[in-house]
Amino acid sequence: MLMNTTYSSPIVTVDSVLFQLVQQKLAVLLITRVHQPFAGMHALPGGYVGAGETTLTAMTRIMHAKAGVVLAQCGVVEQLYTFDTVARDPRGHAVSVTYMALGRDIVPQVRSDTHHPQCFAMNALPDIAFDHAQIIQYAHERLKSKISYTNAIYALLPELFTLSQLQAAYEAVVSHPLDKRNFRKKILGLEIIHETDQTFRDGAHRPARLYRFNTQALTTFNEF
Amino acid sequence: MLMNTTYSSPIVTVDSVLFQLVQQKLAVLLITRVHQPFAGMHALPGGYVGAGETTLTAMTRIMHAKAGVVLAQCGVVEQLYTFDTVARDPRGHAVSVTYMALGRDIVPQVRSDTHHPQCFAMNALPDIAFDHAQIIQYAHERLKSKISYTNAIYALLPELFTLSQLQAAYEAVVSHPLDKRNFRKKILGLEIIHETDQTFRDGAHRPARLYRFNTQALTTFNEF
């Protein structure tokens, strides 16, 4: 077995950006740090990777321990990027293999070690420890890009949804309003959703058709 | 300074998949391993990351030392994925932060430590050490995906090129022939290249118009 000290290798850590829609806003899960450095500040759920543990195994373990969230319940979980600047952790050089998770109705559980997991709207983020604000920004860019060439947004939505609800989800991710007519033309042209025979009645409006994604698996379009 | 042994953290390594077109074929740069394990086998250029060194700094250093290649000469260099299965290195748990680089006319230099860097066509790869065949496959998928929503293919091509040459580059990446008429319609519709006033005459054919990418910087299209 190689000893890390032979090569003075950086420490390996993991951090995860869990996005979901809360009241039609894009929101991210943060915990409150218990220990120094940055004790009392908000941060992404994360921690150390042990030798013999994959980064996803570590992330699953830590997400459950610190936020009471079962990572596998998210529709999309993917590796985001490995952040590796030398000064990002004041305790010493630690690289962070980061993950992006997309979920719906994920309710964090306050557990015994009291990390106070909570979701924050992206437009109301608090001060955040380490380089985690940068990691969240990177994840947001990835998500914006990803919904332009995949069906990834399915993971943020319920199984059945109206076109208005779908448009609101895209708008929450791209952070600006979309033209209704162009949106409908584009989304129907992509052939990633289909009409169901069900409708939804909201107040005095006429019932709106409910749609469903063709698949609840990540698929890419626009390929050459 | 944290000592790695406190947490038994995995070792951090880097490996790089450098793609370029050689005789209109997609090719990847491999070295020959000098030391055990897998001595004498082909592998991606890679090595250990030191504490206080970013993974890109390490990759740049190692690419120069083992293959005589200046990584910054590649038009696109991006982090690919961090491979972290426990048994991927027989010496102990080592995660590899991998990079994908796209270049043109990159000539590897045989240096004193004789790693014999050479390019291999993707359809004629030798047996490859560690999980590097899997890393190359992952990079190829990323590249195929990336050319469907960015102008990334510019980094594989000379500054001026014919539409036939551009189509051949796309075909080399996607590994199948494309319909000429559909290809031209699609590529011109993307508005990522423009005609120049120059032409290229090849044999008895009539001169072909030369094109240029609008920018030699990576840009994304198809955004919502």
Q: Give chain A positions within 8 Å (CB) of B95.
A: 12, 49, 55, 97
For B101, the 3-state DSSP assignment is strand
Interface of B with A in 55-84 (CB under 8 A): 55-56, 79, 81-82, 84
Other beta carbons within 10 Å of B19: 26
- Kindly state the helix (H) or strand (E) to which residue B120 belongs, with its residue range: strand B118-121
For residue B50, the 8-state DSSP code is: P
| Interface touch A148/B50, C-beta < 8 Å | no
SS (H, E, C) A9-20: CCEEEEEEEEEE
Q: Measure in Å the smallest separation between the Cα of A187 and chain B Cα atoms.
A: 10
Q: Does A4 touch chain B (CB under 8 A)?
A: yes
Could you tell me which residues are beta bridge partners of residue B81?
A: B98
Q: Give chain B positions within 8 Å (CB) of A138.
A: none
Other beta carbons within 10 Å of B51: 19
User: What mean pLDDT do residues A75-94 have?
Assistant: 95
Helix, strand, coil shares of chain B, percent, nearest 5, are: 30, 30, 40
Return the pLDDT at A114.
Answer: 72
User: Tokens 């796209």 map to which residue?
Assistant: B102
The C-alpha atoms of residue B41 and residue B32 are separated, in whole angstroms, by: 6
Chain A: residue whose CA lies nearest to B176: A224
Task: Return left, alpha or beta for B52; rule: phi > 0 is left, psi -120 to 50 is alpha, else beta.
Answer: left
Using one digit for the tens of pLDDT, what is the confidence trace for A189-212?
Answer: 999 999 999 999 888 788 999 999
Interface test with B, best of A7, A100, A142, A156 (most B CBs within 10 A): A7
Question: Taking Cα atoms as reference points, which of B149, B150, B118, B159 lies closest to residue B29?
Answer: B118
Return the pLDDT at A206.
Answer: 87
User: Tokens 């979980």 map to which residue?
Assistant: A77
Q: Does A178 touch chain B (CB under 8 A)?
A: yes
Instruction: Return all residues near B124 (Cβ < 8 A) that are at least 6 apart.
Output: none
For A94, the 3-state DSSP assignment is strand
Give the amino acid at A189.
Answer: G
Task: Provide the residue ranges of all domains of chain A, joining segments of one domain with +.
Answer: 4-146, 159-213
Return the pLDDT at B222.
Answer: 67
The C-alpha atoms of residue A132 and residue A192 are separated, in whole angstroms, by: 33
The C-alpha atoms of residue B14 and residue B36 are separated, in whole angstroms, by: 17
The C-alpha atoms of residue B44 and residue B33 are separated, in whole angstroms, by: 9
Cα dist from B139 to B44, B78, B133, whole Å: 12, 10, 10
At A223, is the pLDDT very low, low, confident or very high (cuts 50, 70, 90)? Answer: low
The C-alpha atoms of residue B19 and residue B147 are separated, in whole angstroms, by: 13
The C-alpha atoms of residue B203 and residue B206 are separated, in whole angstroms, by: 8
CATH superfamily of A4-146: Nucleoside Triphosphate Pyrophosphohydrolase (3.90.79.10)
Packing angle, helices B163-174 and B180-189, rounded to 10: 100
What are the φ/ψ torsions at residue A122 (nearest 5 degrees)?
-60, -25
- Output the six-digit token pair for A90: 């004041």
Using one digit for the tens of pLDDT, what is the confidence trace for A108-140?
Answer: 987 766 789 999 999 999 999 999 999 999 999
Q: Does A174 touch chain B (CB under 8 A)?
A: yes
- In CATH, what is the architecture of B158-213? Orthogonal Bundle (1.10)
Question: Mean pLDDT per 10-residue run, chain B (224 residues)?
Answer: 57 97 96 94 96 95 95 97 95 96 92 82 97 98 93 97 97 97 95 95 88 94 68
Return the pLDDT at B183.
Answer: 96
Interface test with A, best of B3, B11, B86, B218 (most A CBs within 10 A): B11
- DSSP alpha helices (H): ranges in chain B? 4-7, 55-67, 132-146, 163-174, 180-189
* CATH class assigned to A159-213: mainly alpha
Question: Taking Cα atoms as reference points, which of B156, B171, B221, B167 lies closest to residue B191?
Answer: B221
Cis peptide before A37 (omega within 30 of 0): yes
- Output the six-digit token pair for B61: 């250093």
**C-alpha dihedral (A76, A78, A83, A89), degrees to nearest 10:** 60
Task: Please say if the pLDDT value at position A6 is more than 50.
Answer: no
Task: Please say if the pLDDT value at position A46 is more than 80.
Answer: yes
Please say whether the dihedral angle defined by the alpha carbons of residues B50, B55, B56 and B58, taken in this order, is positive or negative. Answer: positive
**C-alpha dihedral (A171, A129, A131, A126), degrees to nearest 10:** 20
The C-alpha atoms of residue B95 and residue A198 are separated, in whole angstroms, by: 48
